[in-house]
Amino acid sequence: MNLAKFARRRYTPAPTPLEAMPRLSAALGGPNLFIKRDDLTGLASGGNKTRKLEFLVAEALAKGCDTLVTVGAVQSNHCRLTLAAAAKEGLKCRLVLEQRVAGSYDPKASGNNFLFDLIGAEAITVVDAGADLSEAMAKVADEVESLGRKAYLIPGGGSNPLGSMGYVACLEETLSQCFDMGLALDHLVCASGSAGTHAGLLAGAVGVNAGLPITGINVRRPRAEQEGNVLDLAQRTAALAGVATPIKAEAVTCLDDWVGPGYSLPTEEMIEAVRLLASLEGILLDPVYTGKAMAGLIGLCRAGHFKKTDNVLFVHTGGAPALYAYQSIF
């Protein structure tokens, strides 16, 4: 792999911190837990989509596009960060918001929704769950073109092979930090949603022959469906990155035990995980993704899934701005 061959904008000036979580590790009685602070990437309030946008926006600029069009849930971190990238680059940005929970769009809602307006979405189209999202985006793109402008379409979560390259890069960055720290990781855990993060990490780990198992914790889909999505995207990402080793289905694990009643709907385990990380480590998780992913990691630790001496890294993918839209459940 030689990622420098890809055009890239830089939105985070330095590697994100990789920190130990000694108080959480002690509270759980092991293993040794670490955290990759991708909640501290650049753009407005950070998160995993920043890394994907570095590659996607570079392509948009190379193609001479002046308007980013993307899609997400009503509290989408991805939409917030796409807006922020557009603002920074002097581009316009239009959003399609999917009401994955019926009636969940409230134009006056706090959290990311408030930031859509603040950062300056040029237009917002709200569609119901199950709507054809590519069709909805194509319609927005037509509107943009009818104004004599040029749209660049970014799929949900920025999760195509080019966007996932951001997490191939994150895997390389992480291993380099671990080498400097003398830290040999045994396992990696991340949230698995639109799959670009998980797929990029996996393509990177296979690409450098890291021998590092990765467990995704689902936030929306059933296990078999998510594992299929991650495998497919990891293979396409690996092909784009020039990874020669095939990615096998056995390398993909997506646990669905912590989704609860559905995407973005609170669970007791999520609330406990958000509270534990805040009170023991001073780290803010989010209710939709990292709270559930951390609930999964905590559940795996308690179930004895890891050896007590294992070094396990949690990839913090961001999302804390959504906390303010969920204050009442805490």
Ligand X SMILES: *Cc1c(COP(=O)(O)O)cnc(C)c1O
Q: Does 321 bind ligand X (CB under 6 A)?
A: no
Selected binder of ligand X within 207, 296, 319, 321 (CB under 6 A): 319
Residues touching ligand X, count (CB under 6 A): 20
Q: In Å, what is the CA distance from 74 to each residue of 10, 91, 134, 279, 287? A: 27, 22, 17, 28, 14
Q: Which residues pair with 255 in a beta bridge?
A: 217
Q: Where are the beta strands (DSSP E) in 79-118?
A: 92-99
Q: Give the separation between CA 63 and CA 43, rounded to whole angstroms.
A: 22
CB nearer to ligand X: pick between 16 and 290: 290
User: Which tokens belong to 288?
Assistant: 């939709």
Q: Phi and psi for 69 in degrees, rounded to 5?
A: -125, 125
Selected binder of ligand X within 290, 294, 306, 312 (CB under 6 A): 290
CB nearer to ligand X: pick between 31 and 47: 47
Of 170, 143, 194, nearest to 55 (Cα)?
170
User: Which tokens belong to 170?
Assistant: 């994150």
User: Which tokens belong to 209?
Assistant: 């022959």
- Residues 25-64, interacting with ligand X (CB under 6 A): 47-48
Burial class (CB in 10 A: 0-12, 13-18, 19+), 162: buried
Choose the catalytic residue: 25, 45, 76, 264. 76
Active site residue 194: no
Q: How far is the CB of 180 from ligand X (least distance, A)?
A: 26
User: Which tokens belong to 231?
Assistant: 């495998």
Selected binder of ligand X within 32, 160, 192, 235 (CB under 6 A): 192
Q: How far is the CB of 97 from ligand X (least distance, A)?
A: 14
Q: Does 70 bind ligand X (CB under 6 A)?
A: no
Q: Does 287 bind ligand X (CB under 6 A)?
A: no
Q: Does 197 bind ligand X (CB under 6 A)?
A: yes
Q: How far is the CB of 177 from ligand X (least distance, A)?
A: 20
Selected binder of ligand X within 8, 78, 92, 100 (CB under 6 A): 78
Q: Give helix then strand counts, H and E, for the chain.
A: 10, 10
Selected binder of ligand X within 73, 141, 178, 195 (CB under 6 A): 195
Q: Does 286 bind ligand X (CB under 6 A)?
A: yes
Selected binder of ligand X within 173, 317, 323, 325 (CB under 6 A): 317
Pairing state of beta strands 18-20 and 32-37? antiparallel
Q: Angle 54-221-111 (CA atoms, 0-180°, nearest 5)?
A: 55
* Selected range binding ligand X among 60-68, 171-179, 203-211, 282-290, rule: CB under 6 A: 282-290
Residues forming contacts to ligand X in the complex (CB under 6 A) are: 47-48, 77-78, 157, 159, 191-198, 286, 289-290, 317-319
Task: Tell me which residues are annotated as active site.
Answer: 76
